[in-house]
């Protein structure tokens, strides 16, 4: 899925310029909270007025209910628009400096750097034919990390993830796994050197942890933590049918076991309310309750890094079509899934049953 898909008023309304900062970050300033970190994909509804004030009001609303984590997920090609030419103001600097300038709302930020985004390779265009372990690719990525390490408020980032749902691309291109593993390990080591207290991992789908063990087992040893996306779909059915919420406890137990002695996190976790996907508002509510209940013990044991729930509102009805085209996915049931994934209705703005369950669980999280 498309992580942290904020219908990004950030990109269109943050016209302000933040002050430059050429200092390297101080390790003791990195926020390193875990377990109690909860984020929520801030998709807006169709009645939300455009502009920064509306977005900030949405942030005030969710943070007042316990949301304390913000996420950013740009593609590498969006950040480096030409060789060694960077466009960082809108996707990174503005969110880090403008949405919570007094640092009273969010405890931490996570950053996904996407050179793989599900089924796609999203490196800069001039690198697209190069192997991930090519010296040029590695040097360019290190240069990007150098640039990121000097950004204003970069010390607010506690976790960096290298790629999003990398098993999608790597399962379709298995000959690239070893090259990506080399790139991944070297990237982790370099980020540790430049930002010593930032934890680094990658993102793998729940189903891949079961169905593609070679990918999982190749990448996990070098990870600081395991990042999952989790929607309990029936992977034997191509029509995005949901398994019952009662499966959540067993699934989370399995993911914790797969992580071994490493902590784990969710960059996406959710459940649609669509009857076309074998679900309903009641089942979505049960999923939310079961999710928090199943994860509580891992949070208390320090095994859970963070949860990023997907999302506050359903996607806009036309977004699924764009997503299917970009990812090369052809599934009529996918749009039923995406158009009903939120805790609130996109068209009416009204909460579903799961919203109140989500807020209630956050109260003592």
Answer whether residue 3 is part of any domain. no
Residue 15 has pLDDT above 60, yes or no: no
Q: How confident is the model at residue 50 (pLDDT cuts 50, 70, 90)?
A: confident
Higher pLDDT, 263 or 17: 263
> Which CATH number is 296's domain given?
3.20.20.80
Looking at residue 22, its pLDDT comes to 36
Number of domains the chain contains = 1
Q: Are 320 and 346 in contact (CB under 8 A)?
A: no
Answer whether residue 299 is part of any domain. yes
Alpha-carbon span 1 to 155, nearest angstrom: 27
Q: What is the pLDDT of residues 52-88, one digit of tens each?
A: 888 899 999 999 999 999 999 999 999 999 999 999 9
Answer whether residue 168 is part of any domain. yes
Answer whether residue 213 is part of any domain. yes
pTM above threshold 0.95? no
Q: How confident is the model at residue 1 (pLDDT cuts 50, 70, 90)?
A: low
Domain residue limits at 350: 9-363
- The mean per-residue pLDDT over the stretch 306-325 comes to 87
Q: What is the pLDDT of residues 181-201, one digit of tens each?
A: 999 999 999 999 999 999 999
| Three-state DSSP string of the chain | CCCCCCCCHHHHHCCCCCCCCCCCCCHHHCCCCCCCEEEECCCCCCCCCCCHHHHHHHHHHHHHCCCCEEEECCEHHHHEEECCEECCHHHHHHHHHCCCCCCCCCCEEEEEEEEEECCEECCCHHHCCCCCCCHHHHHHHHHHHHHHCCCCCHHHEEEEEEEECHHHHHHHCHHHHHHHHHHHHHHHHHHHHHCCCCEEECEEEHHHHHHCHHHHHHHHHHCCCEEEEECCECCCCCCCCECCHHHHHHHHHHHHHHHCCCCEEEEEECCCCCHHHCCCHHHHHHHHHHHHHHHHHHHHCCCEEEEEECCCECCCCCHHHHHHHHHCCCCHHHHHHHCCCCCECCCCCCECHHHHHHHHHHHCC
Looking at residue 327, its pLDDT comes to 57
Answer whether residue 353 is part of any domain. yes
Q: What is the pLDDT of residues 78-125, one digit of tens each?
A: 999 999 999 999 999 999 999 999 999 999 999 999 999 999 999 999
Looking at residue 334, its pLDDT comes to 84
Most confident of 231-240, 277-286, 319-328: 277-286
Q: What is the pLDDT of residues 154-186, one digit of tens each?
A: 999 999 999 999 999 999 999 999 999 999 999
Share above pLDDT 90 across residues of the chain, in percent, rounded to a whole number: 77
Alpha-carbon span 168 to 205, nearest angstrom: 8
Q: Are 160 and 113 in contact (CB under 8 A)?
A: yes
Alpha-carbon span 10 to 98, nearest angstrom: 10
Burial class for 261, CB neighbours closer than 10 Å (0-12, 13-18, 19+): exposed
Answer whether residue 2 is part of any domain. no
């Amino acid at each position: 899925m498309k992580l942290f898909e904020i219908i990004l008023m950030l990109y269109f309304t943050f016209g302000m310029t933040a002050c430059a900062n050429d200092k390297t970050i101080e390790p003791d300033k990195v926020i390193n909270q875990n377990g109690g970190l909860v984020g929520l994909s801030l998709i807006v509804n169709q009645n939300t007025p455009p502009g920064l004030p509306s977005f900030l009001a949405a942030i005030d609303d969710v943070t007042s209910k316990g949301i304390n984590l913000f996420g950013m997920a740009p593609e590498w090609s969006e950040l480096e628009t030409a060789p060694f030419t960077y466009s960082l103001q809108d996707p990174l600097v503005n969110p880090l400096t403008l949405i919570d300038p007094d640092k009273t709302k969010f405890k931490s930020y996570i950053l996904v750097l996407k050179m793989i985004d599900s089924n796609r390779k999203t490196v800069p265009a001039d690198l697209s034919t190069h192997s991930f372990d090519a010296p040029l690719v590695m040097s360019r990525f290190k240069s990007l990390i150098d640039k990121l390490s000097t950004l204003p408020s970069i010390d607010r980032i506690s976790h960096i993830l290298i790629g999003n749902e990398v098993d999608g691309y790597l399962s379709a291109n298995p000959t690239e796994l070893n090259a990506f593993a080399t790139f991944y390990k070297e990237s982790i080591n370099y980020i540790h050197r430049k930002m010593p207290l930032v934890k680094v991992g990658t993102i793998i789908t729940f189903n891949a942890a079961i169905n593609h063990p070679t990918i999982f087992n190749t990448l996990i040893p070098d990870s600081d933590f395991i990042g999952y996306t989790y929607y309990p779909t029936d992977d034997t059915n191509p029509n995005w049918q949901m398994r019952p919420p009662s499966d959540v406890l067993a699934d989370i137990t399995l993911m914790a076991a797969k992580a071994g002695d490493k902590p784990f996190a969710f960059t996406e976790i959710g459940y649609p309310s669509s009857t076309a996907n074998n679900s309903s508002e009641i089942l979505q509510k049960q999923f939310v309750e079961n999710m928090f209940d199943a994860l509580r013990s891992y949070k208390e044991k320090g095994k859970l890094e963070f949860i990023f729930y997907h999302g506050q509102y359903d996607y806009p009805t036309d977004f699924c079509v764009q997503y299917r085209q970009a990812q090369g996915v052809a599934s009529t049931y996918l749009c039923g899934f995406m158009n009903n994934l939120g805790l609130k209705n996109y068209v009416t703005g009204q909460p579903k049953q799961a919203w109140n369950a989500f807020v209630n669980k956050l109260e003592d999280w």
